[in-house]
Structure 1
């Protein structure tokens, strides 16, 4: 395929490859979020408390976060297609194991498989975007990928809850595994790494790998992306993945279907906000950190009102909370835009992997902290945590927001200093800044 102006056929091929790759990511988000709306059922099935339930998500997210840098290196070597296939197979196997697990140990192992496969998916799709589409379309397509992927959370909310309550635990998760296997076949048939028939091999000797990682980390723009991802992602992610559903049902008295519907609303708002955030970043690349700070401040402010409200919060306030949490996902995509801006294409995998660690490390810390605080604040002999226990648990978020905001400010300044030094040393057009 020619590298010149794209033909109609090449544009159609790019659209097909991207559509199937995004479908794989939608499925990964479905697998990832399937525990969020089934957490109460999982606690009953395996006879566990809040802290033990948190280990399910922690195991899944810990593997996801720990694998980001290794997966980035593997991605630069083996390409997106192979990693999407491997990731899809692992997630389908994880859901199959989760459906049949008779005890907690096998259930945790199942979530580990899901996390391992999930770790290979998103950054593989971003690499497809980098190779199949012009650079000027990258910010929009990265946001579109993250936004459309949240449709998987819709599938993991109301439909999965309805299926779970209608046919039971095992058939519901067997259906999830079958969905994953179907998408795996689509990837096998349709996805290619690049529009070229014979992509050049990438050197993978240890010295090269080490140099790429060191260069990616040494770039302050990469670390700015990591902390931007850290500070914007965790609140919405933890709410959707695990603790939002128990908070709404046990703490706020929502019916299960109403709570699932509110989580679905969160996803719908994410779909709307994604293109808006992408447009702002494309139009004002030197003010992306302002968007990061605005999203963080708005999220912290609305949570403050919810946590300080006497008694159960009114429905309008919880809707407002869900709406502001929905912006967290698109906001975290700004971190990947920093990785793309400040790193050459041959380091996209490793730089993106480093950035992706940020939000998921924060999410792991918050999931663990919420589970521990809920157990400590729940009176002995009580089956479900009271609302005050949820208040204390979610207040832990302010520690993470404080740390993340300081680090974003620190590395924004470091990135600007480096850009200024590079302009002085070589007066050529610099990349879009922080």
Structure 2
């Protein structure tokens, strides 16, 4: 499959980025809506964690078949098919009258939007040069941060005017517009594996030493970043730091603005770093310990840890985002969709487990007599311990495997 020319590269990137913007907005909007939904549906912390994690449960459920379909049918057809489910999920969420209905709609949204990053990354693996792939990956994540930014103060400002239900009707319409853009701009597909030839399988992905090296930090560190950014940053600011809902939305805006700037910078500098021999493994090994220090500082500060410290927590975690394109480029093109979807499955299973798990731990420690601030601190301490163990595995695997990364 041939590389795309300059203008077509830009057009394809913008088409995919337009779609991913709404995917990220829908992923993160529960953090802003959490006070409203908690009051309207009388939700506990575990319910809120399950509701936010439901998106990632639906997202994860289709990742393995998604990878095979992407390798076989290409990003355009697969993404358009998936987004029909996302539109239906938005409509169902707007109509929901119970927690169970909200959860089912959230799962449907997650399933439908599960291809919004994997489809572009699979296409980039075939259509873009390696340096352009690294830049496009970071700038897709930047676009995601822009969507998360839109899910904060803009959504908070709209709530008193329109309410949360019309928001989801509008999102359904805008997702339909993005489908039209994808249909018009994204090129067709020629499978990398010739017809009649044996098709690659996920077994080759699961057994790959580089995939196994990256999987635990993908689950805990990357998954934890998304779990906090898209849910627990909001409750932390309200229930630990004492913010009101409007101030919490402003804090989320600050966090996502910092993430947008960070991914913009990664997009500019990763090709330059790669040319100088600073590949994903080395940057992750150097950068993740700073993230652990930021997490420990967050826990230690407790009520004094507001939006600024949460922003530092999220920004320092972005080193591990380099693992995603590195995994894709560690495999041949015929396996790109499977490799990327398998790693994405690991990440978003982590998001689901950590979003729900942190909520369960907060409720558990509260039931054991801990105050609300202490319950959050204990829950985040257990989470930090799991992240540190995953980093230890990364270092051990790196030293025991022949280097596989690009």
- Give the TM-score taking structure 1 as reference length: 0.85
- Answering whether residue 299 of structure 2 is matched by residue 307 of structure 1, we say yes
- Answering whether residue 354 of structure 2 is matched by residue 366 of structure 1, we say yes
Q: How far apart, in 1, do the equivalents of 2:132 and 2:401 lie?
A: 23
Equivalent pairs counted in the alignment come to 403
Higher alpha-carbon deviation: 29-38 or 356-365: 356-365
- Answering whether residue 226 of structure 2 is matched by residue 240 of structure 1, we say no
Describe the shift of the 1:354–1:379 C-alpha distance in structure 2 as closer, same or farther (beyond 3 A). Answer: closer
The equivalent of 2:205 in structure 1 is: 216
- Answering whether residue 387 of structure 2 is matched by residue 401 of structure 1, we say yes
Match of 1:292 among 284, 303, 321: 284
Higher alpha-carbon deviation: 137-146 or 108-117: 137-146
Deviations 1:177-224 (A, max 9, x none): 222222222222222245xxxx3574688x945x43122222212223
SS in structure 2 of the partner of residue 23 of structure 1: helix
Q: How far apart, in 2, do the equivalents of 1:393 and 1:146 lie?
A: 27
Higher alpha-carbon deviation: 212-221 or 69-78: 212-221
Match of 1:190 among 164, 185, 192: 185
Larger Rg over CA atoms: 1
Q: How far apart, in 2, do the equivalents of 1:57 and 1:204 lie?
A: 41
Deviations 1:150-189 (A, max 9, x none): 2110111111122123221222222222222222222222
Q: How far apart, in 2, do the equivalents of 1:245 and 1:362 lie?
A: 19
> Gaps (5+ residues) in structure 1?
420-430
Question: Is 1:248–1:259's contact at 8 Å kept on the other side of the alignment?
Answer: yes
Question: Is 2:51–2:102's contact at 8 Å kept on the other side of the alignment?
Answer: yes
Higher alpha-carbon deviation: 169-178 or 18-27: 169-178
Question: Is 2:31–2:232's contact at 8 Å kept on the other side of the alignment?
Answer: yes
Q: CA deviation at 1:381?
A: 12
The equivalent of 1:100 in structure 2 is: 95
Q: CA deviation at 1:291?
A: 2.2
Q: How far apart, in 1, do the equivalents of 2:321 and 2:297 lie?
A: 26
- Give the TM-score taking structure 2 as reference length: 0.90
1:275-424 pair list within 5 angstroms: 275-278=264-267, 279-280=269-270, 281-285=273-277, 287-309=279-301, 312-313=303-304, 315=306, 318-328=307-317, 330-378=318-366, 386-416=372-402
Question: Is 1:366–1:396's contact at 8 Å kept on the other side of the alignment?
Answer: no
Question: Is 2:2–2:126's contact at 8 Å kept on the other side of the alignment?
Answer: no
CA-based RMSD of the aligned residues comes to: 2.7
Higher alpha-carbon deviation: 96-105 or 173-182: 173-182
1:147-296 pair list within 5 angstroms: 147-193=142-188, 199-200=190-191, 202=193, 208-209=198-199, 211-278=200-267, 279-280=269-270, 281-285=273-277, 287-296=279-288
